[in-house]
Amino acid sequence: MTEFPDYERIYDNIPSDKPREDYTYNERRATIYKLLMQRGDPAQLPSYRSLADRFGVKSTETIHKDVNKYVKPFIRENLSTDVKVRMKTLLDKSIEEYIRPKRNSEGEIVEEPEPEDYEKAFKLMKEFGDWLFDEGSIEKAPEKKQVEMEGSMSVDSVMSEIEKNLEKAEQVENKE
């Protein structure tokens, strides 16, 4: 495990009147980190040329290195259990929203989920599994399973599959 400086703390301690061209490399990386956290996606960062100009850096390779060798790994190493809990909670709420029947004010079902809703819920679950794999919490299954959608699945069967997948992920995580 690589030791990274605390970019959050470094960012908070940069004097507001300090010119960006005078930033240390850690202050520059902390600012890029903060920008990435605000934008939520590396693809939403300004171009490396734009960032190099902003910080008075001659080479875009320096910015590339800042982002890929320092900032992204810092974020990966500092993913906390809270992030996993938030992701699971958001996943559960999203899936429930897709597959829960719509009810009127008296609680009567007025609209059942459509087969596409279950497909969307399944896609979300797959993306969550891919994220867990990418960040190292689970191993991918050696074989792919084909899911056939005939008619509609019950909420219980979808939730059962979700619980099985989460139990597998927890077992892998507990082994580490």
Name the nearest CA neighbour of 99 among 114, 85, 87, 109.
114
Place 10 in a pLDDT band, splitting at 50, 70 and 90. Answer: very high
pLDDT in tens, 104-137: 999 899 999 888 888 888 888 888 888 777 766 6
The alpha carbon of 16 is separated from its chain's Cα centroid by a whole number of angstroms, namely 30
pTM of the model: 0.50
CA distances from 55 to 35, 77, 155 (A): 13, 25, 53
pLDDT in tens, 140-151: 666 555 555 555
Q: In the chain, where does DSSP find H-type helix?
A: 7-12, 25-39, 48-55, 60-65, 72-77, 81-99, 115-134, 155-175
Place 154 in a pLDDT band, splitting at 50, 70 and 90. Answer: low
Residue 80: pLDDT over 80: no
Find the angle CA(29)-CA(31)-CA(34) to the nearest 5 degrees: 110
pLDDT in tens, 19-75: 999 999 999 999 999 999 888 888 889 999 999 999 999 999 999 999 999 998 888
Q: In the chain, how long is the greatest CA-to-CA distance? A: 66
CB 71 within 8 A of CB 33: yes
Quote the crossing angle between the two packed helices 115-134 and 81-99, to the nearest 10°.
Answer: 170
Measured on CA atoms in the order 1, 33, 91, 98, is the torsion positive or negative? negative
